[in-house]
Amino acid sequence: MSGPSVTEEPKSARADALFALAMMAVALLTMWGVRNQPRAPYDPVGAAAVPFWTAVAVLALASVLLVRVLLKHSTRGAAMSLFTMSEAVDDSYAVVPRFSVYAVVLSLFYVALIPLAGFAAASVLFMLVFGAALCDRTPRSLAIVAVVALLGGVGLDYGFRALLIDLP
């Protein structure tokens, strides 16, 4: 593993390339999706035209981005923006990327659980697990997480049902 000054550039270049490829995929999907759109009687261009040409623009711009990555032109910082600001970096604590992964995975499980277990139960469980994963694991924090999860889950469920919002 090399130091941050060396990895920073390739990393952002890789992210840019992935972004460009993902956008191309979405554009191609759109073009494929509108391929059989019929012409409408009152409409000179039809329902397919605007999505199709938007997708063409996406393909063109994504290619520009890819070419720039391949030519190793920087796409970050002062090179291309009219305004750039350096953001203050606070390094007094550890950034834990793992937590964001937890957040993504737990959210997906939570949504999948709602139709199975009902809104209140799923919410309490989600808040318990997510809160416990993020907090500093002292007994006091865990206790607060538990209280917040129970009160929050049940309270929100009750409160919004009272507002006649249909919760599963």
Partner 1 sequence: MKRRDFVAGTLAASLAVPALAQAYPDKPVRIVVPNPPGGSADYIARFFQTPLQRVLGQPLAVSNVVGGGTSIGNRQVRDAAPDGHTVLAIHQALLTAATLKVMDFGPEAFAQVAQVATEYVTVVVNSKAPYQTLPAFLAAAKAGDLKAGVQIGAINHFLFLSLGDATGTKFRYVNTGGGGPTRTALAGGHVDCAFLTVNEAKPLVDSGDLKIVAIFAPQRLASWPNLATAREQGTDLLLNLNYWWWMPKATPRARVDRFADALRIAMNDPEVVQKYAEFNMSAVFLKGAELEAEIARQYEAMKKLAERNNVTAT
Partner 2 sequence: MDLVQGFLHLVTGGPLLLLLVGTFLGIVVGALPGLTGGALLALSLPFTYRMSSVDGVILMTSMYVGGISGGLITATLMRIPGEPSAVVTTLDGFPMARGGRPGRALGLGISASLIGGALSWVALVTLAPAMARLALVFGPFENFALVLMALVLIAALSQGSVVKGLLSGLFGMLVSYPGIDETSGQMRLTFGFEEMVGGFSYLAVILGAFAISQVLADAMHARQKFERLDPSVKGIFLSPKDYLGQAFNIVRSSVIGVWIGILPGVGASISSIVAYSVAKNMSKTPEKFGTGFEDGIVAAETANNANTGGALIPMITLGIPGSPAASILLAGLLMHNVQPGPTLFTNSPEVVSALMATHLASHIVMFAMMVAGCMMIARLMYVQRAYVLPIIIVLCVIGALAENGRMFDVWTMIGFGVVGFLLELAAVPLGPFVIGLILAPLAETQLRAGLMGSNGSLMPLVERPVALLFLLVSVLMFVWPLWRDFLRRRQTPLPA
Shortest distance, position 139 Cβ to partner 2, whole Å: 14
The type of residue at 129 is: V
The verdict on 164 binding partner 1 (CB under 8 A) reads: yes
Q: How far are the Cα atoms of 11, 129, 132, 144 from residue 139, in angstroms, in the given order?
A: 39, 15, 10, 9
The verdict on 141 binding partner 2 (CB under 8 A) reads: yes
Shortest distance, position 33 Cβ to partner 1, whole Å: 14
The verdict on 97 binding partner 2 (CB under 8 A) reads: yes
Nearer to partner 1, 44 or 139 (CB): 44
Window 9 to 38, contacts with partner 2 (CB under 8 A): 12, 15-16, 18-20, 23, 26-27, 30, 33-34, 37-38
The verdict on 123 binding partner 2 (CB under 8 A) reads: yes
Whether the Cβ atoms of residue 133 and residue 102 lie closer than 8 Å to each other: yes
Binding mask 21-60 for partner 1 (x = CB under 8 A): -----------------x-xxxx-----------------
The verdict on 7 binding partner 2 (CB under 8 A) reads: no
| Positions in the binding site for partner 1 (CB under 8 A) | 38, 40-43, 164, 166
